[in-house]
Structure 1
Amino acid sequence: MDQPTLGILHPGSMGAAVAACAAAHASEVLWCETGRSAASATRAAQFGLTPVAGLPELLDRSDIVISLCPPAAAEDVARDVAAQGFTGVYVEANAINPERSKRIAMLLEPDAVVVDGGVVGSPPVRGKTPTLYLSGPVAATEHIEALFAGTAVQTAVLGTEVGKASALKLAYASFQKTSRVLVALAVGMAREHGVDQELIDVASRRTDSYLSEPQYVAKTAARAWRWGPELEEAADALAAAGLPPEMLRAAASTLARWHDAKDDSELTLTNALDRLAHP
């Protein structure tokens, strides 16, 4: 597949940046502007993505489509794509549990070839280099690897089984995101008793402790609207494996207290903790 056309569904902060990285090896990178916000349009323009009027046109012109959307919308997006009879490579790169990835593959196959994907890391801007983990048919994963070769998006293939990439993504997210929720709870409790600085000092004596980075709590609050549904997905994956999901469901419930802080880049640690205590 030489210089394929790529379609991105939908260009959020991660999706737009990932799609832009593929531009070096794609003949064109398309996105569908129907029903999208002005912020999406501005972001897509900043990353040099080409707008098309509707989903049918995007799918008709695209050899590869990457789905990067909120977890709750993943299956609806896949159904819309399946309804159009898409016959290219569909990269399901959302933070969803492995069973949902397999259901999406069943929706799209055999017309399309489905590759399971999971992005670990921050959007590929300002020197960040996330890894796109892949699992699926060999020929298809090779096409995706070629698409991102030499870019800020690193790729790693985990095998041919759909679900493996999703499992790795959620396994990592289970720790990474839940640990940040625990930081908020620990610092909030310590602050209530006037020992928050002492707690940070204790944590600072250890290496790689998120407790020594409480400023990250504000960023967690701003991202809670996305992280909560992701942890619910991870909880479903734990339950399916016979493991207790309560910790992740509780973390998702905690994140829901920050729903009104969506994407608030001006949020401070104090404000985030106050919202956590008094939603």
Structure 2
Amino acid sequence: MDQPTVGILHPGSMGAAVAACAANNAAAVLWCETGRSTASVERAARFGLTPVAELAELLDRSDIIISLCPPAAAEDLAHAVAEHHFAGVYVEANAINPGRMQRIAALLENGATVVDGGVVGSPPVGGKTPTLYLSGPASATEKIETLFASTAVRTAVLGTEAGKASALKLAYASFQKTSRVLVALAVGMAREHGVDQELIEVASQRTDSYLSEPQYIAKTAARAWRWGPELEEAADALAATGLPPEMLRAAASTLARWNDAKDDGELTLTDALDQLAQP
């Protein structure tokens, strides 16, 4: 079978790395550079992605579109794709709740074949091997499995129902990300009373405790701008099933205190805790 042309919307840290893996089994991987930041341009070049000037060109040339963007932009992107009558495979791989996923599937159903996707794990660089969970029509999920065969992105098909992959992604994110928020609050409280090292020592006596990894708090702060919206999506998913969403909304509100630390790789634990303590 001929190799497909793939379009990526948009190449952030995860999207660019995933797209680079897809390039191993694709004729080309395209991205639209219009309106994107200098950082995006540099990142796309670093990962070997091919720029095009307009979204229309990207959609016309692509057999497969992968949408990997901040959750808030997912539906706007899907609307733009629908307006251009894209008729290939559209992988909605954002951290959005199943209800939004199904709305996007309905929006595109008259043209594209929509696959629900959810990435669990870190971007596929430096030996990391995330899993792209998929749900949707078998003929389409098979194409995505083939696209990522023998790459650092593993694939796992959950079935044909749109929403399953999104639900799994958010269920995992709700635990993993909220746990990190709780660590920050616990260490922050202990630090205010001069017992933070003792707290970490207590936690270190237990196995697999996030609380014994306070160094991760700075990484959590730098990622808060992405994690907060994911937890809001997860809270919406809880509410839609009748489960209480308040804990996840509170975690998202806590993360918002770190919005100014976006992608700050130089942030220290002390800096992160200082920012957390400021209303």
| TM-score, structure 2 normalization | 0.99
Q: How many residues align?
A: 279
Partner amino acid for 1:108?
Answer: L
Instruction: Tell me the equivalent position of 1:173.
Output: 173
Instruction: Tell me the equivalent position of 1:93.
Output: 93
| CA distance in 2 between partners of 1:21 and 1:64 (Å) | 14
Instruction: Tell me the equivalent position of 2:137.
Output: 137
1:2 CA displacement: 2.6
Runs of 5+ in structure 2 lacking a partner?
Answer: none
| CA distance in 2 between partners of 1:256 and 1:207 (Å) | 30
Instruction: Tell me the equivalent position of 1:42.
Output: 42
User: What aligned pairs does 1:78-89 form with structure 2 within 5 A after superposition?
Assistant: 78-89=78-89
Instruction: Tell me the equivalent position of 2:241.
Output: 241
SS in 1 for 2:260: helix
Instruction: Tell me the equivalent position of 2:261.
Output: 261
Runs of 5+ in structure 1 lacking a partner?
Answer: none
1:24 CA displacement: 1.2
1:110 CA displacement: 2.1
Instruction: Tell me the equivalent position of 1:209.
Output: 209
Partner amino acid for 2:2?
Answer: D
Instruction: Tell me the equivalent position of 1:26.
Output: 26
SS in 2 for 1:158: strand
Instruction: Tell me the equivalent position of 1:16.
Output: 16
| CA distance in 2 between partners of 1:195 and 1:39 (Å) | 40
SS in 2 for 1:257: helix
Partner amino acid for 1:122?
Answer: S
Partner amino acid for 1:93?
Answer: A
Instruction: Tell me the equivalent position of 1:69.
Output: 69
Output one character per residue of 1:117-143: Cα deviation in whole Å (capped at 9) or x when no partner.
000000000000000000000000000
Output one character per residue of 1:65-88: Cα deviation in whole Å (capped at 9) or x when no partner.
000000000000000000000000
Q: CA RMSD in A?
A: 0.6
Instruction: Tell me the equivalent position of 1:185.
Output: 185
Identity of aligned residues (%): 85
Instruction: Tell me the equivalent position of 2:276.
Output: 276
SS in 2 for 1:115: strand
Instruction: Tell me the equivalent position of 1:232.
Output: 232
After the TM superposition, list the runs of 4 or more consecutive aligned residues in structure 1 that deviate by more than 4 angstroms: none
| CA distance in 2 between partners of 1:110 and 1:214 (Å) | 49
SS in 1 for 2:159: coil
| CA distance in 2 between partners of 1:51 and 1:108 (Å) | 24
1:155 CA displacement: 0.2
Please state if 1:159 is matched with 2:159. yes
User: What aligned pairs does 1:113-152 form with structure 2 within 5 A after superposition?
Assistant: 113-152=113-152
| TM-score, structure 1 normalization | 0.99
| CA distance in 1 between partners of 2:51 and 2:200 (Å) | 47
Partner amino acid for 1:142?
Answer: E
| CA distance in 1 between partners of 2:51 and 2:259 (Å) | 30
Instruction: Tell me the equivalent position of 2:111.
Output: 111
1:278 CA displacement: 1.1
